[in-house]
Amino acid sequence: MDMQSSLLDRLLAAGLLIDTGIDGLYGRSGTFEDVIARFEKLIDAHAPADARPEVIRFPPGMNRKHFEGSGYMKSFPQLAGTVHSFCGCELDHMNLLQCIAEGGDWTEGQKATDVVLTPAACYPLYPVVAKRGPLPAGGGLFDLQSYCFRHEPSKDPARMQLFRMREFVRMGTPDQVMEFREDWMERGQKLIAAVGLDVELDTANDPFFGRAGKMMGNSQREQKLKFELLIPVTSSANKTACLSFNYHQDHFGTTWGLTTADGETAHTACVGFGLERITLALFARHGLDTADWPADVRKALWG
Amino acid sequence: MDMQSSLLDRLLAAGLLIDTGIDGLYGRSGTFEDVIARFEKLIDAHAPADARPEVIRFPPGMNRKHFEGSGYMKSFPQLAGTVHSFCGCELDHMNLLQCIAEGGDWTEGQKATDVVLTPAACYPLYPVVAKRGPLPAGGGLFDLQSYCFRHEPSKDPARMQLFRMREFVRMGTPDQVMEFREDWMERGQKLIAAVGLDVELDTANDPFFGRAGKMMGNSQREQKLKFELLIPVTSSANKTACLSFNYHQDHFGTTWGLTTADGETAHTACVGFGLERITLALFARHGLDTADWPADVRKALWG
């Protein structure tokens, strides 16, 4: 039995995750949710006390036009989830029901709505902030969290199709956003150490689609645009990226016309916390019964 | 200016909701989210102290096979949202990008995934519980919350496309589930009174699709299968259903083979709280600044 299915099987057997019949789509127990909620409070406690982010919670779907504008389909077409609906009349409905009854593919008649599932918590943010006009002198700082969708069915519990990402996003001058990212690379390691997990910082690249995507990934890595905190979840040899620190340069600024107070194109950076992945790492390391977790870890989470 | 757009405009101007460019799809401010979190704690406080529901949090999507089996497409085809993805090769991807660049409809090539957006918080639950085998002697009691999707774009802020529903679900004998529903009809009214909102209990019916659906709605109403707590949100004349109390008889029990400890087909009932709707009712009634809310309402929510 490989470690991946082993952890998933143990989590399902313990009732911490609940099987829905689809790989990567699980219910969460109250205990699992409590760990996520407590870890989010610990994130708050590790955030700089003098910075006051604007808290926004977007729902798990975003404006399709904004999604199209983001360029996501260029980089990760295989991961996106568009939302489609039935838009027909009563006769169409009768045909639809007959198709379902006969086991046919009734989904072909579904039409795309204006909604696309959020691929990363910060994607809905940039166009919304750009619409407000230039950033204030100090730049912008935002606190986000939402369910995100990625179409990559897998038995690896750390690769869910629907999972939550907490994010802080910084917008401003290159200096402002680089300082933010450096600061969080430090804070992130302290945060993970506080819950008794081994952590390793490394440069990384996104899983861009296709052969051209390979080159994009190499370039991203060479320019050190993406760092990740790797933590053992299903394997100590192949660690899982649980936090990522991304410098987008002026990509979103140019895309959405986002400017600094001085009228320059804004640069942006984000730090993202994979909440399910971190929670899985905690259960993998400290055991499936939170009552048995080390005293210092319990104190960090439950006070 | 009608009351509906008025409340929406005021919420957007106050930054409590954040425009995404799509009717019914809004970001929520930290304050809005805090009210939802506090109200959820108040729900907990009003729940029967001796009942211990099993807490499960499903993500905002469910197994498409379970969705198909539920009969939702028979009753509400126009509201459902199926999730579709790009499943092509690199050549398909090039064509896709060209289509997007030319402003064409690139979504036609998307293929349905195994995921459908959750239409009501309890839909993923029934097949999962049925798979466990017969219910225990006392029946089942569950505590759920998730984002739900309904494709009904509207300027009415109380009719969002993505919104959260908290639910308690009871499964067991007809007596057990009817007692649960009666009990929550009482508790729900006390809960809403505790936050200073006017409330009216009424029989109701779901918005079944088409002409045949009209008859289903009439039958549902005559059999008193659905009650709602109506609260003024955008209009005091046309109140909004903020809580609903639903007796499904043996519909889900038969559909999923869910049985009681005695081997009878289980009956089910649920009470659902429309968390955004209740929060909107609070802002509409008490004003957009929570610091100005009546002292007893503040005490009920923030202690």
Residues A56 and A101 in one domain: no
Minimum CA–CA partner of B21 in chain A: A63
User: What pLDDT is recorded for position B300?
Assistant: 98
State the Cα–Cα distance between residues B209 and A122, nearest whole angstrom. Answer: 36
- Smallest CA–CA distance, residue A292 to chain B, in Å, is 21
Verify that A89 and A58 share a domain, yes or no: no
Among A91, A115, A139, which residue terminates a domain?
A115
**Chain A residues near residue B93 by CB distance under 8 angstroms:** 77, 209-210
Question: What integer pLDDT is reported at residue A3 of this predicted model?
Answer: 54
Out of A115, A132, A165, pick the residue that ends a domain: A115
A191 and A267 belong to one structural domain: yes
What DSSP letter does each residue of chain A carry, written as one string? --HHHHHHHHHHHTTSEEEEEETTEEEEEHHHHHHHHHHHHHHHHHS-TT--PEEEE--SEEEHHHHHHHTHHHH-TTT--EEEE----HHHHHHHHHHHHTT--GGGG-EEEEEEE-SSTTTTHHHHHHTT-SPPTT-EEEEEEEEEE-----S-TTS-SEEEEEEEEEEESHHHHHHHHHHHHHHHHHHHHHTT---EEEE-----SHHHHHHHHHHHHHTT-EEEEEE-SS-SSS-EEEEEEEEEETHHHHHHT-B-TTSPBPEEEEEEEEHHHHHHHHHHHH-S-GGGS-HHHHHHHH-
Cβ contact, residue pair B29, A56, below 8 Å: yes
At A1 the pLDDT is 45
Percent of chain B with pLDDT over 90: 97
Residue of B nearest to A98 (CA): B74
Q: What is the pTM of this model?
A: 0.97
Same domain, B296 and B226: yes
Query: Best interface-test mutation with A: which of B17, B31, B75, B86 has the largest number of A CBs within 10 A?
Result: B86
Mean pLDDT, to the nearest integer, of B116-140? 98
The residues near B219 (Cβ < 8 Å, ≥ 6 apart) are none
- Tell me, yes or no, whether B151 and B130 share the same domain: yes
Q: Which residue of A has its CA nearest to B52?
A: A30
Q: Do B230 and B201 reside in the same domain of the chain?
A: yes
Query: pLDDT for A236-283, tens place per residue?
Result: 899 999 999 999 999 999 999 999 999 999 999 999 999 999 999 999
CATH number at residue B165: 3.30.930.10
**Residue B157 shares a structural domain with residue B247:** yes
Q: What is the DSSP string of B115-127?
A: EEE-SSTTTTHHH
Q: Are residues A249 and A103 in the same domain?
A: no
- Structural domain count of chain B: 2
Chain A: give the shortest CA distance to residue B195, in Å: 24
* Contact across the interface for A90 and B211, Cβ inside 8 Å: yes
A-B contacts at Cβ under 8 angstroms? 213
Residue of A17, A110, A208 to mutate, interface with B, max B Cβ within 10 Å: A110
pLDDT at B5 over 70: no
| Domain identity same for A11 and A60 | yes
Q: Are residues A88 and A196 in the same domain?
A: no
SS3 B298: helix
Q: Is the pLDDT of residue B143 over 50?
A: yes
Residue-by-residue pLDDT tens, chain A, 303 positions: 455 559 999 999 999 999 999 999 999 999 999 999 999 999 999 999 999 999 999 999 999 999 999 999 999 999 999 999 999 999 999 999 999 999 999 999 999 999 999 999 999 999 999 999 999 999 999 999 999 999 999 999 999 999 999 999 999 999 999 999 999 999 999 999 999 999 999 999 999 999 989 999 999 999 999 999 999 999 989 999 999 999 999 999 999 999 999 999 999 999 999 999 999 999 999 999 999 999 999 999 999
> Domain boundary residue among B115, B131, B160?
B115
The stretch B147-175 carries a mean pLDDT of 97
Task: Check residue B257 and report its DSSP letter.
Answer: T
Decide if A83 and B78 are in contact by the 8 Å CB cutoff: no
- B41 and B91, same domain (yes or no): no
Q: Which domain holds residue B109?
A: 83-115
Closest A-chain CA to B106: A112
User: Which chain B residues contact residue A29 at CB under 8 A?
Assistant: 55-56
**Is residue B301 scored above 50 in pLDDT?**
yes
- What ipTM was reported for this prediction? 0.96
Same domain, A175 and A276: yes
Contact assessment for residue B281 and residue B242, using Cβ atoms and an 8 Å cutoff? yes
